[in-house]
Amino acid sequence: ETGVTQTPRHLVMGMTNKKSLKCEQHLGHNAMYWYKQSAKKPLELMFVYNFKEQTENNSVPSRFSPECPNSSHLFLHLHTLQPEDSALYLCAAGGHGYGYTFGSGTRLTVV
Amino acid sequence: GIQVEQSPPDLILQEGANSTLRCNFSDSVNNLQWFHQNPWGQLINLFYIPSGTKQNGRLSATTVATERYSLLYISSSQTTDSGVYFCAVYGGSNYKLTFGKGTLLTVNP
């Protein structure tokens, strides 16, 4: 499915770097989400935005900062990350009655 | 919160075999989805199935919401079916998808 686009696909960053992940949806859904998938762990919900308003912050450290400027775009700003933050970060868009559609993910490595 | 349990955790098949994956959930849900995660990490939506039965080619799914379970059937499996299959449910009034731990399927040629 190509309704949700994530960039970049891969990212390597140092612990002192600042980078951003981008997600764009073309489905017209009301809600967008960030999920984290670490090796051998279940998918973890990080943030939920409904109609551009953050409605869920699942106890995520402040070194992860989401931004939702409009209903089609979602960013995840990263700064001073730790090696244990290395994971696959997945964006999804969803609407009532339509289910969730996921992007291809950004595989992040923190060195 | 809602608990989602998937079984079996791992499954190894020979090409051409059939299989059934199960998803149990602990509370009433608004909706349920089955996903396939490919080796590159992408989650592909297979079925959006809050209740009833759906079929798509060699795959079909059945959800019995009153008994809090869903089944995913894979017939005539192919090596490209390998990967992790996730069941995920919505509960309550928030748009919040809760995932099971997945079933790792390996189809050998």
The whole-number average pLDDT for the span A20-47 is 91
Average predicted confidence (pLDDT) for chain A: 91
**Range of A29-43, A89-103, B39-53, B70-84 with top mean pLDDT:** B70-84
Chain A residue numbers with beta carbons less than 8 Å from the beta carbon of B41 are 37, 88, 90, 104-105, 107
The whole-number average pLDDT for the span B88-104 is 82
In a mutational test of the B interface, the residue from A32, A71, A100 whose CB has the highest number of chain B CBs within 10 Å is: A100
Instruction: Write the CB contacts of A88 (distance below 8 Å, at least 6 apart in sequence).
Output: A36, A37, A38, A105, A106, A107, A108, B41
Q: What is the pLDDT of residue A57?
A: 76
Give yes or no for residue B90 having a pLDDT over 90: no
Pair of tokens at residue B27: 């509370």
CA distance B64 to chain A (A): 18
Average predicted confidence (pLDDT) for chain B: 92
The whole-number average pLDDT for the span A5-33 is 94
Q: What is the pLDDT of residue A98?
A: 76
Q: How far apart are CA A107 and CA A77, in angstroms?
A: 15
Give yes or no for residue B74 having a pLDDT over 80: yes
- Per-residue confidence band for B93, with pLDDT thresholds at 50, 70 and 90: low
Range 57-86 of A in CB contact (< 8 A) with B? none
Q: How far apart are CA A87 and CA A83, in angstroms?
A: 9
B101 close contact with A: CB closer than 8 A: yes
The whole-number average pLDDT for the span A89-97 is 87
In a mutational test of the A interface, the residue from B30, B43, B46, B49 whose CB has the highest number of chain A CBs within 10 Å is: B43
Q: What is the pLDDT of residue A39?
A: 85
Q: How far apart are CA B83 and CA A66, in angstroms?
A: 30
The whole-number average pLDDT for the span A1-7 is 85
